[in-house]
Structure 1
Amino acid sequence: MLVGFALGGLTSCADEPPVEDDLLHDGHDHGLEGFVEDELPEGLVDKAATCSNRWQLPSSTAQTGRAQNVPYQSAGSRCTSGATQGALALRNYLRDQFGDKINRSIPGDGVQIYNCRQINGGSGLSLHSVGRALDIFIPTWGSNADNGKGDVIANWLVENAEYIGIQMLIWDRTIWTANRSTQARCYTGSHPHNDHIHVELTVAASSRQTAFFRDLAGGSVEPPTSNVAGWIGSGCDSDNDCGYTDGGARGWCYQRGQGKGVCTLDCAGYCPDRNGYATTFCAQAEEFGDTREDGLCLSRATEANSYCGAHPDLQRLSVNRFLGNSSARPSRVDVCAPKVISSEPDPEPQQPEPQQPAPQEPDPEPEQPADNINNSVCRDPSLPASEHGDSCAGWPENHWRCACFAAFGTSVSQVCRGGRWINYELNVRDCSRCDGDYSRSCEGG
């Protein structure tokens, strides 16, 4: 439940707040970790700065966010001596409630507050200079934001902005402010905030004078609930649980029988992917018993969803790609497809007649996960099948290679960064020469 608070006569500043282009505090580098930018192919640096794939608020979060009204208050002209009591209390609460989603290896146990400095590129002081800003660090998914972790925290902060006293958030190339009609927009600062959430508090919140801190002191703050926009493959009970959009199409909840549904999108050939989630596949609906003759986006059976074991009402099923009028190539992969759950109780099974035990057969060879096998999806069957974000454990950091990208049925160049394979270009120019160090052969043909 959202509770309002009074600002007690405090003066608000201009409607358009200064935008923090964060310089991270000592002990962490805001650049591309593990790479020297001038040694990178230009395209990889450019792609990291785009806003085409960023934090999108679920529809329910955006609706709740529009009801928030928190005037913006600047830092003033002088640094203070350290973090405010409100920032420290919120830091401790976030660690307690979201500790499994915070990168605790970063100095400050994953949350940093005070740093006396100006806004990067501006003349005013940063909110960090007066101890009213927090940087909440989130583990990255390769070189990208892990939306499966960071979105949970960011969405909760938006939904409770007025209750807590939050005036601004920046996360994964999106800036959200609580005093604008267009609250969420693309953030184009030099650092995309893909590894941390920047949170700014009002003066009242910094001194623990808002309803959240009063309830926190009294032990009556309700535990946060998870809201991650119900991405493709997530469980759902209604369309409201699937509040994401892609290219104007809205996600919806696909249900069969009495079981929990799964979030999906209509598709032809291709489906969108999101960092921190299993890669997706445009599946023929007829393949899993539906009468419709079109395609539905489902998550592939991968390590990210425990090969469908993370959702009790889904089954691992091999299905064909729905092509429609797209230029996609035919493909067949394992996906997490919905089961038919009947509301009728199962009939009592008939007792079989006693039989002589059959001769014991040797155990079959264990089946390899589908995403580790090329299965001739690509023209070169010798290429290993790999998805963006797959583990590259055992490979040297910054090692380049070619792989088969089953989602598009073609080759892809990849680089090992931070323990995960990062996709670079499709339709690789010369896979035989894209092995080890980067070369122009790793570019798209």
Structure 2
Amino acid sequence: MRGGSAAGALLAMAVVGWPGDTMAQLFTPARTLTTTAVGFQVPQVCTWQGDVHVVWVDGARGSGGVRYQRSTDGGTTFHPVLGLGPERANPGASARGVKVLAQGEHVYVTWLDGGLRFRSSNDRGGTFGTILELTREKEGGLRLAATSRQVYMGWFRSSEEERGNIHFIRSPTGGVFADIESLNGQQGYGEVELAAQGAHVYVLWNGVGSDESSGLYFRRSVDGGRTFEPIQQLAGMGEGSRDHKLAVQGNDVYAVWTECGTGLASCEVLLRRSANAGASFGPVVNVSNDTRASSKPQVVLRDSRLFVAWQDHPPGALGPDVVLSMSVDGGATFLPRRKVSRTQVQSLSPRMVGAGMGVRLVWTDGFNGEREVLTRATVGLGLALGPVENLSRSQKDSGEASVAASHCGAQVHMAWLEGNAPQGNAVVYRRATLPFAGLYCLLWPDPQ
């Protein structure tokens, strides 16, 4: 356990049967935040202590603007909706890729609309500063990270002839931004992942925008993004690395991704661990390790336990299942997987957060037009699973779900789209709460 406390481990064991177990998380009724969201864009939810922040792209009157709503009481009530983005700054297009992140009193919202746009609040989302137009180029793959002192953004910029760049920008808590930097050197460009902890900044990207068979690349900064160390290539033995994710806890940095092709029986979920804050990485570990097609991994660290979930497509099945595994030795070995979903159709887009003593997963089940948003959580410290629960329970199509945890995993917050039309969709929110939140914060304190 964190800090190596045997007493903490025993205490956690003792809680396994308590009402505070993840099975006891009780969901609030569904709350509709809007009925005018654009389709096919995932509403984003994030938390900081008792605050909940939700953003989406709204299509009311053809605006295509960014909307924001917050709760300051853990999701019990919500303040009025704020419009953050221009009412269709570019005719015929809407904002996309909207992200939200809270860090103490600061709330950051960024999106793409004819370039990179950014707004920040220093009063927990009560008011926001002006829109900052950071670029006017064709951007994609936007990611956002922050510490108590800095906010960071990473993205890719494509150009002709399959050439492009991985770009990075930083600012002290949303103030004046430094110059945009290109991080990929002579390597390819593609989707970006970004993480920050203390003075360390980690950037992970693939090169599939330039070459479908390209690898996976990593760079770190140890001075708050002012300078970056040389590029490390983490993968490249197959026909393309994708679906990559980062997880950071102390000096441990985990990169998880999907790779297909040479030397592998099928598409596999792979992992590499750094035990020295990204200075170097250990060997590749095959997490899925079978002949099924595996993809879309998610990774969560809980004390010394590493959880990895992914989509697993059995031969002959209509679609993939969601499965979960866990390592207790830093990712060197993994316990046998557990099947999380129970569908006869397909389970897609898994999301995972720390919850209770373990993790909670959310995914979309079914085919377009008849989809539901389902959830399931682990019980105790291992891979035992509670029941599958249907969050949406709607006659309408439900999907594009996001999830965030607060109060050290004692609360989880979900937001998703209801409806699959280009315009006029609902953003729906639900929250689940465990008792004894203070106990969870003693054992699994939130990162600061």
TM-score scaled by structure 2?
Answer: 0.31
Larger RCO of the pair (alpha carbons < 8 Å, separation 6+): 2
The higher radius of gyration belongs to 1
Greater strand content: 2
